[in-house]
A and B are shown apart, each in its own frame.
Chain A
């Protein structure tokens, strides 16, 4: 067997039997790397493709042909237009939103969805958070291979059909609520499934048969969303309105952004880019929000790397997950960017980067970089309680120093939260909305006696 080592003794694997080390000199290696970096750091890395297609063209044609019905974003949703990778328009609904939750966020980072809903209350945005929804099941699929395109597409359209129908439970017209997807993997997966469905009559037929059994067709047709919208896109188009209510100065912070793979590498043509955000060379969400809030966003050399989550690896092969998270993300953000915080916009990334720092002590890689989602940071900037609302106590990374830099007394806030826990034990629980609204059918559902005001405010 060939010795696959270069002159420096580094081992290279997985390149196949024909691979031979190049044995570049350090200056040659630097020149080669620079050549690559000038390209990978540009948006053009994603745009030089031959087969570029706007799947919405096929979608509208199928609707004209009478095959599908499109759940439209209309005046009820007060859309704001954003521009995607190729400059195409994407209409982002800003109100009457159906919260399509994330299992990883709700199970492990609960301050993530609570921050989204709190910001909506703050901005007077109407929404529905209900129990008739499942995970997209794509985390499981990407981790295990259990599942398939038919099951993923059926779950996608079942959940989105429920979003369309949900307003009926409140005596409102169907289509009032538009789905807002919290998880990045759900977002990427649903966009892929929409493409596959638009391209394959066979897949549409298979899914239609299943949804027919579930009573999840509209006039005998599949319901397809006009857009698949991620919460970070909502935050992006709302960022100036969010800024208007900012009460905490964040200008002293150096922030790094971890763009999520399943948000911008899956179906990249449907991702928002903005010439005013890093010259349009980075996905605009999160970065645009942080800049609008006044933080210093610091670029770093491994911005494009994944977090190391791996879907399967985070469960059963964490040596990979934690090594990659520390070596390629945390270490670089701390040593190169001198970051005070790393901001993300996806479930697995926040979990991976947050939870895999402590173990670095075992190999003298000691880092303490606060990790949180963009919505949690925005909520803090608008004065949200760091424990009761942003729920930062579920984070393993040390956020206390960050709060001090923001002028937030975390010890006082923690004491307030501990006192609140006593109230919780006594059954006095504060919520962001009326819990009765969460059940829209089946056991526990009560038909409303009058049309609700659709208030998203706490009650």
Chain B
């Protein structure tokens, strides 16, 4: 983001903040990426400022966040406001889509937030990196295995606020998993057993759709780890294919 930071008088900054000012060109570039998103016109049709979205928004109860404000900023092309909202506010949205279901204009503020999150990642905004740091465990799991959640991720250390009764029968996790009567779920590292060929196919999807580039932008170390896992699994699959030909 430093490439977009300037100190000239033409730049736009916050007079009550120590944050460095951001060049107008950078603000335009970010906004154009939002507007050029293939779903932008699907998610925004107009706005009467009625506020029904904010009235029903769970995040508005607890955060300085309003879906009405997000829609207004985009509809009025308020470049500074859009950029500012991308630093923190967009990460408050709980993605419930109550706003979208109720908007008389059929806008989807939740969908617009997703576009802004994608663009925040594309531009490598530090705010996106910071907010996604606790999510890295999940990113590693879903990109390297195709499963977002694994049984061995649910530990008392990771979720102390869930209390002492998360497991009501005292037994080793691997035994409890085998006691599930669904054979594909006798797993610890993934939610279900994922076919090796399936994982390899998924890697192609990640590569072809730029998902790995997104990952590298927000967390280079995580990208390296995921790349190693992908290489190992591809080697394993290729070895199996060679065995079949022998």
Q: Mark A124-141, 1 if CB is under 8 A from B, else 0.
A: 000001111111010111
B220 to chain A, nearest CB (A): 14
Kindly count the residue-residue contacts between A and B in the assembled complex, taking CB atoms under 8 Å apart. 327
> Which residues of chain A (396-443) have a CB below 8 Å from chain B?
396, 398, 414, 417-418, 420-421, 424-425, 429-433, 435, 438-443
Which chain A positions have C-beta within 8 A of B100?
A: 265-266
| Contact assessment for A114 and B167 in the assembled complex, using a CB-CB cutoff below 8 Å | no
| Contact assessment for A50 and B204 in the assembled complex, using a CB-CB cutoff below 8 Å | no
B31 to chain A, nearest CB (A): 17
B177 to chain A, nearest CB (A): 8
Does A147 make an interface contact (CB < 8 A)?
yes
Does B48 make an interface contact (CB < 8 A)?
no
Which chain B positions have C-beta within 8 A of A151?
A: 205-206, 209-211
| Contact assessment for B38 and A202 in the assembled complex, using a CB-CB cutoff below 8 Å | yes
With contacts A145-B118, A442-B196 taken as known, whether A214 is within 8 angstroms of B163 at the C-beta atoms is no
Does B229 make an interface contact (CB < 8 A)?
no
| Contact assessment for A114 and B208 in the assembled complex, using a CB-CB cutoff below 8 Å | no
| Contact assessment for B181 and A114 in the assembled complex, using a CB-CB cutoff below 8 Å | yes
Residue of A nearest to B193 (CB): A131
B150, B202, B204: the one within 8 Å of A213 (CB): B204
| Contact assessment for A146 and B211 in the assembled complex, using a CB-CB cutoff below 8 Å | yes
| Contact assessment for B106 and A324 in the assembled complex, using a CB-CB cutoff below 8 Å | no
Which chain A positions have C-beta within 8 A of B66?
A: 13-16
A25 to chain B, nearest CB (A): 19
With contacts A202-B38, A316-B131, A418-B169 taken as known, whether A113 is within 8 angstroms of B209 at the C-beta atoms is no
B61, B106, B166, B240: the one within 8 Å of A442 (CB): B240
| Contact assessment for B204 and A214 in the assembled complex, using a CB-CB cutoff below 8 Å | yes
| Contact assessment for B131 and A393 in the assembled complex, using a CB-CB cutoff below 8 Å | no
Q: Mark B17-41, 1 if CB is under 8 A from A, else 0.
A: 0000000000000000000001100
Residue of A nearest to B89 (CB): A14
Complex CA gap A188/B206 in Å reads: 21
A209, A432, A435, A441: the one within 8 Å of B195 (CB): A441
Which chain B positions have C-beta within 8 A of A261?
A: 96-98
| Contact assessment for B205 and A154 in the assembled complex, using a CB-CB cutoff below 8 Å | yes
Complex CA gap A40/B56 in Å reads: 10
| Contact assessment for B101 and A46 in the assembled complex, using a CB-CB cutoff below 8 Å | yes
Q: Mark A431-459, 1 if CB is under 8 A from B, else 0.
A: 11101001111111000000000000010
| Contact assessment for B165 and A114 in the assembled complex, using a CB-CB cutoff below 8 Å | no
Which chain A positions have C-beta within 8 A of B98?
A: 261, 265, 304-306
With contacts A36-B55, A133-B198, A306-B98 taken as known, whether A320 is within 8 angstroms of B63 at the C-beta atoms is yes
| Contact assessment for A13 and B65 in the assembled complex, using a CB-CB cutoff below 8 Å | yes
With contacts A106-B192, A148-B210 taken as known, whether A318 is within 8 angstroms of B148 at the C-beta atoms is no
Does A179 make an interface contact (CB < 8 A)?
no
| Contact assessment for B118 and A107 in the assembled complex, using a CB-CB cutoff below 8 Å | no
Complex CA gap A102/B184 in Å reads: 12
Does B1 make an interface contact (CB < 8 A)?
no
B interface secondary structure, majority: helix
With contacts A414-B169, A442-B240 taken as known, whether A214 is within 8 angstroms of B162 at the C-beta atoms is no
Does B149 make an interface contact (CB < 8 A)?
yes
Does B230 make an interface contact (CB < 8 A)?
no
Which chain A positions have C-beta within 8 A of B101?
A: 45-46, 264-265, 268
User: Which of these binds chain B: A73-81, A230-238, A331-339, A353-361?
Assistant: A353-361
B150 to chain A, nearest CB (A): 6
| Contact assessment for B135 and A135 in the assembled complex, using a CB-CB cutoff below 8 Å | no
Does B9 make an interface contact (CB < 8 A)?
no
With contacts A14-B89, A16-B68, A359-B161 taken as known, whether A139 is within 8 angstroms of B58 at the C-beta atoms is no
Which chain A positions have C-beta within 8 A of B184?
A: 101, 106, 129-131, 438
With contacts A134-B147, A144-B139 taken as known, whether A266 is within 8 angstroms of B167 at the C-beta atoms is no
Which chain B positions have C-beta within 8 A of A420?
A: 179
| Contact assessment for B161 and A318 in the assembled complex, using a CB-CB cutoff below 8 Å | yes
With contacts A134-B202, A200-B38 taken as known, whether A388 is within 8 angstroms of B131 at the C-beta atoms is no
| Contact assessment for A210 and B204 in the assembled complex, using a CB-CB cutoff below 8 Å | yes
Residue of B nearest to A309 (CB): B94
Complex CA gap A82/B4 in Å reads: 54
A328 to chain B, nearest CB (A): 7
Does A49 make an interface contact (CB < 8 A)?
yes
| Contact assessment for A149 and B39 in the assembled complex, using a CB-CB cutoff below 8 Å | yes
A420 to chain B, nearest CB (A): 7
Complex CA gap A206/B205 in Å reads: 11
Which chain A positions have C-beta within 8 A of B5?
A: none
Which chain A positions have C-beta within 8 A of B60?
A: 13-14
With contacts A145-B118, A355-B166, A421-B175 taken as known, whether A16 is within 8 angstroms of B198 at the C-beta atoms is no
Does B153 make an interface contact (CB < 8 A)?
yes
Does B138 make an interface contact (CB < 8 A)?
yes
B63, B95, B162: the one within 8 Å of A356 (CB): B162
Among A14, A311, A391, which residue has the most Cβ atoms of chain B within 10 A? A14
| Contact assessment for A315 and B138 in the assembled complex, using a CB-CB cutoff below 8 Å | yes
Complex CA gap A209/B209 in Å reads: 11
Complex CA gap A444/B195 in Å reads: 9
A306, A315, A421: the one within 8 Å of B179 (CB): A421
Complex CA gap A264/B101 in Å reads: 9
Which chain B positions have C-beta within 8 A of A442?
A: 195-198, 237, 240
Q: Mark B48-88, 1 if CB is under 8 A from A, else 0.
A: 00010011101111111110110010000000000000000
Which chain B positions have C-beta within 8 A of A113?
A: 182, 185
Does B235 make an interface contact (CB < 8 A)?
no
Complex CA gap A37/B56 in Å reads: 11
Given A106-B191, A108-B154, 8 more pairs with CB closer than 8 A: A102-B191, A106-B192, A118-B181, A130-B195, A155-B202, A312-B131, A442-B196, A442-B240
Interface CB pairs A-B, < 8 A, 29: A13-B60, A13-B65, A15-B68, A104-B191, A108-B154, A129-B182, A130-B184, A132-B198, A134-B194, A135-B147, A140-B142, A142-B114, A144-B138, A150-B208, A151-B206, A158-B202, A196-B39, A261-B96, A265-B101, A305-B98, A313-B94, A315-B137, A322-B161, A358-B162, A392-B168, A393-B168, A414-B169, A431-B183, A443-B195
